Structure 1
Amino acid sequence: MSDAPRRVARVLIDSPLPQLDRLFDYVVPDLLREAAMPGVRVKVPLRTVGRTVEGYLVELGDETDGDRPLSELEEVVSPVEVLPDRLYAHARRVADRAAGSASDVLRLVIPKRMVRAEKAWAAAGPPEAPVVSADALAWARETAAAYPDLESAVAGGERVAVDAPPRPADDVPAWAELLAALAVLTLAQGRSAIVVVPDHRDEAHVLAVLARRVDDAAVVRDDARRSGPERYAGYLRLLAAVPCIVVGNRSSVYAPAHDVGAVLLWDDGDPLLAEPLSPGVHARDAALVRQELQACALVFAGLTRTTDVERLVALGWVRDIPARRRESPRVVLSATREGESRGTRVPSAAFAAAREALTHGPVLVQVARPGYAPVLVCADCRTPARCAQCAGPLRARRPGAVPECAWCGRAAPAWACSSCASQRLRMASSGSERTADELGRAFPNTRVIVSDGEHQVTHVDARPALVIATRGAEPFATGGYRAVILLDGDRMLMTEQLRIAEACLRWWSDAAALAAPGAPVHLVGVAGPAARALATWTQPAYARAELAERAPLHMPPTVRVAAVEGTAAAVAEAIAQLRADVPALTETSILGPVAREDSVRALVRFEYALGRAVAESLRASVVAAALRGRRRRGAPSGQRNTLRVRLDVPDLDL
């Protein structure tokens, strides 16, 4: 018998089952010794399921004690090391913080293998190191110089928050030039930069600026809109030991680029940066973990300041760097004048501003909802009209059309009010299409452009036009809009959400920043702190005030919140175990459980210092519940998952 040590591979199984979220040991057979390297995809036998599964080889080691029975590696799927150490460490830390699985995080980052793309990449050889021209470097330094010490802070790996300039810059927003400039400065130091943006329109703005400043080979676009081969080829480029600039959506925060010097996160308040898939980690939190692990710079940039970032600024964890010269749009709080009807949707001052602006260029009108009449009510008693099948709200797509349900799509030709039996309906709101219809009649011979979920417009020219857009769908106008009118603000604020005022301020600020310098921005029919913050352009001060109000009530983000959902027995057992594991939790820390459609849910509020203990306890309960469900032979798969946990839910009403 040979005394030579045997090679042992530690493998992370690619599986959503929580009980498999650990490293499994396998013997590396002699035939696979050369190919079995850390980071490669492998296939291994899994006795519990009686079949071969895929995974990632994380670590290699030699073992002299050969008495331990171990299975052998089945196959090395590809020689490409798709899971570098830096990515695994990041995914593991993020998963542990969120009581989730590392494989769930990696599934968001590593694309499926594409053999042709892999062969083409291997044949092409390593990419050349990018070179930043003197002109591009001078432009980047001049752009960053608008913020004192920003360039040195990024070069020194600091965490900073900046308020972006609220204006257009030629054919892109000014914020896109700022982020691109910081990325170019990082690349000039021989390090990679990662730019994380909410959606494809923001991505297009940043890519347009970079296309004018650096070679295309230095920029890697990373988003789910690309084809499978394109995305895999881009991922392989990230693995090369050559710096680059990565531009992409929320999962790009994990991009394993070489020697990352800066992570630049745009508009962290946008809900598109919140990952809906397990473990549900926000890009902001993943970026904070990455900065801590890799000592790279982290920049939070936006037109508004979220309470989450402002909390970090107040703690001194993030440094606030204001601009040398404060810029702000010309915001007018527009209300109805004496003699005007209280229900007037566009007051005379805003109407006159739009009429004047249309002689020079386009005018933006922001509305709350798409469609023609998103809300219908009984014409007699004003009871909201509901679908008889699913109780969803009824809507009208055009004047005189049969109402239909916004949830199930069923038509309701014989609708009758449940309160007074009336069959008459009244339009209680105006969507983007109805607003376009009304304003089109008010401004004859004027182009009318609608931009919403069904009519996506990303850019309009400088010719006069009325642009009716829903919140978040506003097109960029060359040279900026000559006037901006923000309608339905009162309706937006009526939504029952903890952060609705913060969200409204972000929607209004994003639209106001599209105005040309000096152009009026009319916020119609809204008063209060959020409106004053917009008018004075003091969003960070508003975030500080919000934090001060939430702290005594123990509302996020002053505390972390975990949602525990599942069967009544599983939730009760998890909460009992949590109380035993974390005795610092008080009686008021647990909210619920309350019954939902087919489960119960409890919320756990806890201080940030208790985060690790709470996550470990809840994760152990999830694994225990999964093992119990697996032993229930014959139970449907949906009933086996008796417990679900999500940390850092943004609102208590989720």
Structure 2
Amino acid sequence: MSSGDGDREGAAAESGPPEQLALIRETVRERKKLPKAKPRTWRGAATAESLPVARVLVDKGLVHLDRYFDYAVPAALDAEAQPGVRVRVRFGAGERDGRREGGRLINGFVVERVEHSEFPGVLAPIAQVLSAEPVLTPELLELCRAVADRYAGALADVVQLAVPPRVARAEKGGGGQSPEPPAPPEPGGWQRYGQGAEFLAALAAGGAPRAVWSALPGPQWPQELARAIAAALASGRGALAVLPDGRTAARVDRALTELVGPGHHVLLTADAGSESRYRRWLAVKRGAVRAVVGTRAAMFAPVADLGLAAIWDDADAAHSDDHAPQPHARDVLLLRAAHENAGLLLGGHQRSVEGAQLVETGWAAELAAPRETVRAQAPRMRTVGDREEARDVAARTARLPSLAWEVAREALALGPVLVQVPRRGYVPRLACARCREPARCVHCRGPLMAGEADGAPSCSWCGLDAAGRQCPVCGGVRLRASVVGARRTAEELGRAFPSVQVRTSGRDHVLDTVPDRPALVVSTPGAEPVAEGPGYAAALLLDGWALLSRPDLRAAEEALRRWLTAAALVRPGGEGGTVVALAEPSLRPVQALLRWAPEWLAAAELSDRAELGYPPVSRMAALSGPPAAVRELLARTELPEEAEVLGPVELPVIEPGRPRRVGDPPVGEKWERALVRVPPGRGAALALALRTAQAARLAKREGPPVRIRVDPPDIG
């Protein structure tokens, strides 16, 4: 690593007067002309005879330190300190006034070994090789660099996401040989799609087809995705499938095992535990298996000779990583497909706006079934609009319209009925029974909620008891539910259907499956269990307004995604399956649900985005931080000529006691956010400009860093 004198020299080169700057530059040029010498190390330690300099990526996720540092390779570590291995090095060490000073030990990765270092001073030696396992392969390093450049982030941050933590016990044992490729699979359910059989044949023949797949309703999609993976394996190449959660990943894992047998793939999810997950990751890196099925972190899995990169339900927020630089699995797989010449499959019951753009630009083909096939597989769709619900006495008293009640009663004679509720809890929001003013805590102004039927209201932010509270507008003391949660809905349904079992699936307890017998299954979005047998007899989608009224650019797309996920679990209309949605039928996402036409809504949303210049038609970055820091970063950044700055605007101040989401400002601090928009093709230039300006500010310690989020999922 460069010495302390070298660090101070670099700082002076950033901030010194012109004369000093010229002198330093001339000195550096003269030093570079000197003959190369073997690096000197502290304490006179002997260095390796061949390639004695190691370039190390240190585990410091700071943009202004996003470069490699040179270290001397001690002779004792020559055999182990190979490119890709984990090491321990002293960071910040150097010589000062003739004295040797040591820095603190931190982790890093050897990137390469070279003969000479450009640094003219004394190199610190590598302190320790943590493992001789080369986990940071050149291919993985190249992918991490591409992701860091796209998201204006630090390479060390991306590597931390890509390489799992080390567990020493998992490294024992050899890699082994991968099994022989399986035979090409039969098309199976892919014959239901226009070019489905041709897509599988192209994968099996070693091609790299790219497709956006609109999956038909029903439980067959895991088997169809497994066939696509098996087709890539049949060509002798690898495959990777990323799923939004462990439950869906487990379904694909079972389907692939049934199709090709064990030994061809591994399942990478957090449920496996750190040791088992690292052992499986090493099996992929060593070539013992060629396919991976997993959740978000599996997007970086080191699959050799990648033939297919697949993602299911790419619009699910779970695919966006919460850690810097917050990459999205879809974009990472797009990079891999382009750089590794692999096939791509974006699948789901819903089509994302990004998927619609890939189809419109011709980068990917469309895989969709004919309309007659869709109508045969989809359940019967019914809606209850606002006007009908307002006139319905049952809807006002039991919160279940007469149509929904009748459908549920008839369907319970056939099998289980799914009830989707947008909010969890009992009554997560209360209002004054007299004037309908939202009820808030007198201490922190947080919204009041009711945890149980006979429990006193309390604050959902600070938890204080709010019994006896008076409305500040009308003085009333009685409260009513303004939003009803899943547990309250289950209680009401239990009274409406006293002889039927009511089960709940949500954040605290998620059911994987439910038996094929009459029952009411109340679930929050994303936690819907799969019904055994032919599927649910009916589904009730309650409180559609709660999804459609979200102040979010993606509200319509997200509402349809959640509805279709639930409706796809219902048996076809020809077998008695019915879906009732409590939403205004004239709205565009409700029309897309009634017609089972996610492609139509995605294309319409994409057209609206193009008109307004919003992503994905444009590339955008969000800058969030203290007002002075955001404005200073904007002033320093050399933005592309086509860039347009929107804002800055103030962000809501997070009050004490209120839950914080990822990306929210610190509690009580005033922050601003600015959006920078550029046309297609200029996203790389925008990311580079922001990254360069952020690094310069941090190097000079000019105030706090600004959070940079490239391609933010929410710009509302």
> Which residue type is aligned with residue 526 of structure 1?
E
**CA shift digits 1:296-330 (9 cap, x unpaired):** 11100000111111112111112212236434332
Task: Kindly indicate whether the alpha-carbon contact (under 8 Å) linking 1:219 and 1:246 is maintained by their aligned counterparts in 2.
Answer: yes
> Which residue type is aligned with residue 127 of structure 2?
E
**Aligned match for 2:368, one of 322, 327, 345:** 322
- What residue is the counterpart of 1:634 in the other structure? none
- Once residues 444 and 37 of structure 2 are traced to their aligned partners in structure 1, the CA distance between those partners, rounded to angstroms, is 71
- What residue is the counterpart of 1:10 in the other structure? 55
Task: Kindly indicate whether the alpha-carbon contact (under 8 Å) linking 2:378 and 2:571 is maintained by their aligned counterparts in 1.
Answer: no
Range with bigger deviation, 92-101 or 189-198: 189-198
Task: Kindly indicate whether the alpha-carbon contact (under 8 Å) linking 2:170 and 2:275 is maintained by their aligned counterparts in 1.
Answer: yes
- What residue is the counterpart of 1:358 in the other structure? 412
> Which residue type is aligned with residue 378 of structure 2?
S
**CA shift digits 1:551-584 (9 cap, x unpaired):** 2222222222211122333221211233x34222
Task: Kindly indicate whether the alpha-carbon contact (under 8 Å) linking 1:14 and 1:53 is maintained by their aligned counterparts in 2.
Answer: yes
RMSD over aligned Cα atoms: 2.2
Per-residue deviation, 1:240: 1.1
> Which residue type is aligned with residue 502 of structure 1?
E
Task: Kindly indicate whether the alpha-carbon contact (under 8 Å) linking 1:101 and 1:279 is maintained by their aligned counterparts in 2.
Answer: yes
**CA shift digits 1:481-526 (9 cap, x unpaired):** 0111111112221111111111000000001000012211111232
- Once residues 608 and 395 of structure 1 are traced to their aligned partners in structure 2, the CA distance between those partners, rounded to angstroms, is 45
> What are the residue-to-residue correspondences of 1:221-260 with 2, within 5 Å?
221-260=267-306
**Aligned match for 1:181, one of 224, 227, 238:** 227
**CA shift digits 1:216-271 (9 cap, x unpaired):** 32221112222221121112111113442211111111101222211110000101
Partner of 1:468: helix, strand, or coil?
strand
**Given the alignment of the two structures, is residue 608 of structure 1 paired with residue 608 of structure 2, yes or no?**
no
- Once residues 127 and 689 of structure 2 are traced to their aligned partners in structure 1, the CA distance between those partners, rounded to angstroms, is 34
> Which residue type is aligned with residue 530 of structure 1?
P
- What residue is the counterpart of 2:142 in the other structure? 89
Task: Kindly indicate whether the alpha-carbon contact (under 8 Å) linking 2:178 and 2:288 is maintained by their aligned counterparts in 1.
Answer: yes
Task: Kindly indicate whether the alpha-carbon contact (under 8 Å) linking 2:384 and 2:580 is maintained by their aligned counterparts in 1.
Answer: yes
- What residue is the counterpart of 1:429 in the other structure? 483
> Which residue type is aligned with residue 256 of structure 1?
P
- What residue is the counterpart of 1:51 in the other structure? 104
Task: Kindly indicate whether the alpha-carbon contact (under 8 Å) linking 2:84 and 2:135 is maintained by their aligned counterparts in 1.
Answer: yes
Partner of 2:115: helix, strand, or coil?
strand
Query: Which one has the largest radius of gyration?
Result: 2
- Once residues 353 and 76 of structure 1 are traced to their aligned partners in structure 2, the CA distance between those partners, rounded to angstroms, is 66
- With over 3 angstroms needed to count, the CA separation of the structure-2 counterparts of 1:64 and 1:510, relative to structure 1, is closer
**Aligned match for 1:521, one of 579, 582, 605:** 579
**Aligned match for 2:643, one of 585, 595, 615:** 585
**Aligned match for 2:699, one of 627, 644, 654:** 627
Task: Kindly indicate whether the alpha-carbon contact (under 8 Å) linking 1:264 and 1:299 is maintained by their aligned counterparts in 2.
Answer: yes
- What residue is the counterpart of 2:326 in the other structure? 280
- With over 3 angstroms needed to count, the CA separation of the structure-2 counterparts of 1:297 and 1:415, relative to structure 1, is same
- What residue is the counterpart of 1:160 in the other structure? 211
- What residue is the counterpart of 1:204 in the other structure? 250
- Once residues 90 and 423 of structure 1 are traced to their aligned partners in structure 2, the CA distance between those partners, rounded to angstroms, is 60
> Which residue type is aligned with residue 347 of structure 1?
P
State the number of aligned residues. 629
**Aligned match for 1:262, one of 305, 308, 312:** 308
Range with bigger deviation, 199-208 or 459-468: 199-208
**CA shift digits 1:187-229 (9 cap, x unpaired):** 2222221110001111121112123223332221112222221
- Once residues 133 and 279 of structure 1 are traced to their aligned partners in structure 2, the CA distance between those partners, rounded to angstroms, is 38
Structure 1's unaligned 5+ residue stretches are: 169-173, 632-639
- Once residues 56 and 42 of structure 1 are traced to their aligned partners in structure 2, the CA distance between those partners, rounded to angstroms, is 6
Per-residue deviation, 1:94: 0.4
- What residue is the counterpart of 1:102 in the other structure? 155
- Once residues 635 and 643 of structure 2 are traced to their aligned partners in structure 1, the CA distance between those partners, rounded to angstroms, is 11
Aligned identity (percent) is 38
- Once residues 117 and 247 of structure 2 are traced to their aligned partners in structure 1, the CA distance between those partners, rounded to angstroms, is 56
Task: Kindly indicate whether the alpha-carbon contact (under 8 Å) linking 2:439 and 2:471 is maintained by their aligned counterparts in 1.
Answer: yes
> Which residue type is aligned with residue 53 of structure 1?
I
Partner of 1:9: helix, strand, or coil?
strand
Per-residue deviation, 1:34: 1.7
**CA shift digits 1:587-608 (9 cap, x unpaired):** xx33214355323221112223
**Given the alignment of the two structures, is residue 114 of structure 1 paired with residue 177 of structure 2, yes or no?**
no
- Once residues 143 and 131 of structure 1 are traced to their aligned partners in structure 2, the CA distance between those partners, rounded to angstroms, is 25
Partner of 2:467: helix, strand, or coil?
coil
Structure 2's unaligned 5+ residue stretches are: 1-35, 39-48, 94-101, 654-668
**Given the alignment of the two structures, is residue 41 of structure 1 paired with residue 96 of structure 2, yes or no?**
no
Task: Kindly indicate whether the alpha-carbon contact (under 8 Å) linking 1:5 and 1:64 is maintained by their aligned counterparts in 2.
Answer: no
- What residue is the counterpart of 2:707 in the other structure? 644
Range with bigger deviation, 367-376 or 334-343: 334-343
Per-residue deviation, 1:273: 0.5
Task: Kindly indicate whether the alpha-carbon contact (under 8 Å) linking 1:492 and 1:504 is maintained by their aligned counterparts in 2.
Answer: yes
- With over 3 angstroms needed to count, the CA separation of the structure-2 counterparts of 1:337 and 1:641, relative to structure 1, is closer
Task: Kindly indicate whether the alpha-carbon contact (under 8 Å) linking 1:6 and 1:66 is maintained by their aligned counterparts in 2.
Answer: no
**Aligned match for 2:239, one of 193, 218, 243:** 193
Partner of 2:483: helix, strand, or coil?
coil
Range with bigger deviation, 291-300 or 420-429: 420-429
Partner of 1:414: helix, strand, or coil?
coil
Task: Kindly indicate whether the alpha-carbon contact (under 8 Å) linking 1:5 and 1:63 is maintained by their aligned counterparts in 2.
Answer: no
**Aligned match for 1:545, one of 604, 608, 618:** 604
Task: Kindly indicate whether the alpha-carbon contact (under 8 Å) linking 1:593 and 1:603 is maintained by their aligned counterparts in 2.
Answer: no
